């Protein structure tokens, strides 16, 4: 027969086990609910696509958002966002590593991307940021720690999110920006993007390749099942406008507050290549170093260090970037 002391002890232990089991079940239910909510946003997005383009059809696995829950959950999430012409496929390096390390992963698709250049052209930067913020709202309600990873346009969009929203900055544990697009490499880009749409709304990805062997065009051609094969010119113009908008908003903030605007986050890793022929390296290096003063800015150079630094088919720096990802201070 148990003593009174032993009975109380057994009840306490039993109660603790019951509580932990139910808290665990509650956390799992929350994750399932989040998955359902994110899927609902995707369904709404597809309905909008069908209104914009009646030819739109359901996208394949690598052309739509991917939510992967880890078995040994760290209760942290890694959010991934690709670049111009791309899909979640080009962020698979980070998806696989993060998931293997026990992180939940949401590998997203930029609104309008993944189906056709024509559909992408029918969307604006305001559409992208609207849907992006809507998803981040849900994610931030379920996780206290978020790791952001953005490539090119995805890096620009994440930077704008962090600029705009202090509530998200407070939950950001790390930020990785790979070739974040803040200024085009070609000086006449703005004139080109204003002039060309009068004649062409889309251009074949093979056009620039016929002029020079561009490694970032080679990525698109080598992985043609996962990239738009025509360039949506209007979408490209919106990317440049979003970069301009970011800088204009920063200037406005600095005028209003009479102090320099900075995103003072820890664990920020920015990867830039000197040989980038998509973005203007010198400008992006200087500007991003000022906006993210605590950032670790890693630079690369050489023929095998193109804009798509994380794509093994054209870059020799893939392993280095993978090794640094989710490593320091995390």
Check if the beta carbon of residue 136 is closer than 8 Å to that of residue 111: no
The Cα 222–Cα 297 span in angstroms is 29
Measured between its terminal Cα atoms, the distance across the chain in Å is 50
Does pTM top 0.85 for this prediction? yes
Nearest to 77 by CA among 100, 92, 98: 98
Per-residue pLDDT tens digits for 99-151? 999 999 999 999 999 999 999 999 999 999 999 999 999 999 999 999 999 99
Q: Which two structure tokens, joined as six digits, stand for 227?
A: 């990239």
Alpha-carbon gap, residue 276 to 289, rounded angstroms: 17
Helix (H) / strand (E) element for 104: namely strand 104-108
Looking at residue 208, its pLDDT comes to: 53
Query: For the residues 18-35, what does the mean pLDDT come to?
Result: 57
Does pLDDT of 291 surpass 70?
Answer: yes
Q: Per the structure block, which two tokens stand in for 153?
A: 């346009």
Mean pLDDT value across residues 310-319: 93
> Residue 187: what pLDDT?
79
Beta-carbon contacts of 124 under 8 Å, excluding residues fewer than 6 positions away, are 238
Residue percentage of the chain with pLDDT more than 70: 87
pLDDT in tens, 43-100: 999 999 999 999 999 888 889 999 999 876 778 999 999 999 999 999 999 999 999 9
Between strands 104-108 and 77-81, the pairing is parallel
CA pair distance 155, 175, nearest whole angstrom: 9
The mean pLDDT value of the chain amounts to 88
Highest-confidence segment of 17-26, 213-222, 244-253: 244-253
Domain ranges of the chain: 7-324
Per the DSSP assignment, residues forming a β-bridge with 55 are none
pLDDT (tens digit per residue) in 203-220: 887 665 454 467 888 899
Stronger pLDDT, 143 or 23, i.e. the higher one:
143
The confidence score (pLDDT) of residue 23 equals: 40
CATH code for 7-324? 3.40.50.1820
For residue 182, give the nearest of 120, 236, 239, 129 by alpha carbon: 239
Is the confidence at residue 26, as pLDDT, over 50? no
Q: Which DSSP category does 197 fall into?
A: G
Residue ranges of E strands in 261-326: 268-273, 296-300
Give pLDDT, residue 188. Answer: 82
The answer, yes or no, to whether residue 34 has pLDDT greater than 70, is yes
pLDDT at 215: 83
**Residue 324 pLDDT greater than 90, yes or no:** no
Query: What pLDDT is attached to residue 19?
Result: 41
Determine the pLDDT at residue 16: 43
How far apart, in whole angstroms, are the C-alpha atoms of residue 115 and residue 118? 9
Q: Decide if pLDDT at 278 tops 90.
A: yes
The pLDDT value recorded for residue 217 is 83
For residues 234-256, average pLDDT: 97
Residue 2 CA from chain centroid, whole number: 59
């Amino acid at each position: 027969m148990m003593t009174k002391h032993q009975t109380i002890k057994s009840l306490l232990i039993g109660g603790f086990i019951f509580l932990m089991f139910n808290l665990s079940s509650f956390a799992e239910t929350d994750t399932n609910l989040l998955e359902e909510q994110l899927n609902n946003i995707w369904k709404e997005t597809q309905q909008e696509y069908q209104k914009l383009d009646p030819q739109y059809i359901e996208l394949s696995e690598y052309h739509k958002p991917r939510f992967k829950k880890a078995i040994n959950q760290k209760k942290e999430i890694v959010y991934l966002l690709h670049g111009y012409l791309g899909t979640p496929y080009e962020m698979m390096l980070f998806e696989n590593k993060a998931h293997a390390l026990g992180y939940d992963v949401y590998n997203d698709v930029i609104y309008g991307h993944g189906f056709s250049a024509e559909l992408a052209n029918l969307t604006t930067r305001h559409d992208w940021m609207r849907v992006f913020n809507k998803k981040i709202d849900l994610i931030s309600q379920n996780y206290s720690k978020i790791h952001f990873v953005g490539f090119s346009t995805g890096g620009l969009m994440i930077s704008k999110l962090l600029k705009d929203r202090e509530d998200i900055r407070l939950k950001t544990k790390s930020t990785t920006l790979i070739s974040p697009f803040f200024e085009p490499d070609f000086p006449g880009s703005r004139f080109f993007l204003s002039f060309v749409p009068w004649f062409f709304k889309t251009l074949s990805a093979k056009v620039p390749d016929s002029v020079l062997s561009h490694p970032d065009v080679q990525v698109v051609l080598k992985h043609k099942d996962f990239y738009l094969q025509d360039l949506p010119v209007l979408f490209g113009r919106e990317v440049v406008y979003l970069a301009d908008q970011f800088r204009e908003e920063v200037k406005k903030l600095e005028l209003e507050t009479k102090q320099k605007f900075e995103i003072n986050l820890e664990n920020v890793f920015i990867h830039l290549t000197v040989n980038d022929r998509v973005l203007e390296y010198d400008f992006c290096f200087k500007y991003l170093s000022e906006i993210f003063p605590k950032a670790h800015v890693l630079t690369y150079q050489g023929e095998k260090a193109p804009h798509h630094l994380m794509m093994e088919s054209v870059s020799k720096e893939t392993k280095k970037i993978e090794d640094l990802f989710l490593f320091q201070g995390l």
